Amino acid sequence: DISKLNKNIEKYNIELSYNPFDEISIKDTMNMYKKRIKLKTMYEEMFSDTVIEYHNALCDVECTAKCYMVMNV
Give the pLDDT score at 53. Answer: 82
Residue 5 neighbours by CB under 8 Å, 6+ apart: 21
List the pLDDT tens digit at each of the 73 positions of the chain: 778 888 999 999 999 998 888 888 888 888 899 988 999 999 999 999 988 887 789 999 999 999 999 999 7
pLDDT attached to residue 68: 94
* pTM (two decimals): 0.67
**Residue count (the chain):** 73
For residues 72 and 28, give the distance between their C-alpha atoms in angstroms, rounded to a whole number. 11
